[in-house]
Amino acid sequence: MQNYYHCSLSNRIAFITGASRGIGRACAISLAGTGHRVILAARNLEKLEETAAAIRATGAQADPVEIDMSSPDSIKSAFAKASKEIGRIDILVNNAAITRDGLAMRMKQADWDTVIQTNLSGAFLAIQQVLPGMMRERWGRIVNISSVVGESGNAGQANYVASKAGLIGLTKAIAQEMGSRGVTVNAIAPGFIDTDMTAVLPADLKEKMLQSIPVKRFGTPEDIAAAVRFLASEEAAYITGHVLDVNGGMYM
């Protein structure tokens, strides 16, 4: 019989990339709030320490780890360090992402390569690091943060859209490979979420986007964190290869 309850909620370990701010930070706080020990991974160690301190103040466990998702060596080193010092990783949240926007006809090769390497290849390499341990335990949760534009497309973001659409394909492929091992792999496609990444957009563009959202508000990082918390739970054990749209209805 498959051992779905190989450990209690309180000693599961979740690794969250891009955890220094926005959606990643909210995911870390949410998972810590449900008893998980969280590993906070990003490039900015100082901001990670701030998030870790906020989580520790609640009595939960948080460990910052520096990582550069565009560097295979950095990814391998960060996961090796986490596994050695903290323990097996039960939950992986692939959240880290960057943008380098521009029209396709003028997009620089470097901007294409950097976005694909960070958002898609980095996520794949992170998955590779956790799969052996999850397979041994016959339990694991992988949640990839895609985007509504990975489903709908978006002008001026060919690189970002391709990376997020690729993440959906990656999710479905790994889900098929790992389903019999007790490891679920799902994606979340956020809509317009109020974060640092979207704060720089012009006010008229924001207003136009708001009009396309049936619930008439922008999403919050906590909206995404709630979906991550569910997909990482025991209750989601029979859900895999799924793309959960959390977008207020802006794309159906």
Instruction: Give tens-digit pLDDT for 126-136.
Output: 999 999 999 99
Taking residues 180-195, report their average pLDDT.
Answer: 97
Q: Which residues pair with 190 in a beta bridge?
A: 246
Q: Could you tell me if residue 75 is inside a domain?
A: yes
Reading the block at residue 36, the tokens are: 């998980």
Q: Is the pLDDT of residue 4 over 90?
A: no
Nearest by Cα to 244 from 161, 157, 145, 153: 145
Q: How many domains does the chain have?
A: 1
Average pLDDT, the chain: 94
Structure letter (DSSP) for residue 250 = S
Q: What is the pLDDT of residues 66-111, one digit of tens each?
A: 999 999 999 999 999 999 999 999 999 999 999 999 999 999 999 9
Q: Could you tell me if residue 125 is inside a domain?
A: yes
Report d(CA 1, CA 6) in Å as an integer: 12
CATH number at 47 reads 3.40.50.720
3-state helix, strand, coil in the chain (%, to 5): 50, 15, 35
pLDDT at residue 199, rounded to an integer:
81
Q: Could you tell me if residue 252 is inside a domain?
A: no
Q: What is the pLDDT of residues 154-185, one digit of tens each?
A: 999 999 999 999 999 999 999 999 999 999 99
Give CA angle at 93 (101, 44), nearest 5°: 60
Q: Is the pLDDT of residue 3 over 80?
A: no
pLDDT at residue 10, rounded to an integer:
52
Q: Could you tell me if residue 226 is inside a domain?
A: yes
Q: Is the pLDDT of residue 146 over 60?
A: yes
Q: Could you tell me if residue 218 is inside a domain?
A: yes
pLDDT at residue 1, rounded to an integer:
34
pLDDT at residue 201, rounded to an integer:
81
| Dihedral sign for Cα atoms in the order 89, 34, 186, 22 | negative
What does the radius of gyration of the chain's CA atoms come to, in whole angstroms? 17
Strands (E), 2-87: 13-17, 37-42, 62-66
Q: Residue 237 in contact with residue 210, Cβ under 8 Å?
A: no
Residue range(s) defining the domain that contains residue 123: 9-245
Report d(CA 204, CA 227) in Å as an integer: 29
Three-state SS for 249?
Answer: coil
Q: Could you tell me if residue 50 is inside a domain?
A: yes
| Catalytically annotated residues | 160
Given pLDDT bands bounded at 50, 70 and 90, which one contains residue 200? confident
Q: What is the pLDDT of residues 5-64, one digit of tens each?
A: 334 445 799 999 999 999 999 999 999 999 999 999 999 999 999 999 999 999 999 999
Q: Could you tell me if residue 2 is inside a domain?
A: no
Q: Residue 143 in contact with residue 91, Cβ under 8 Å?
A: yes
Q: Could you tell me if residue 49 is inside a domain?
A: yes
Q: Residue 63 in contact with residue 37, Cβ under 8 Å?
A: yes
Q: Residue 221 in contact with residue 199, Cβ under 8 Å?
A: no
Report d(CA 234, CA 120) in Å as an integer: 27
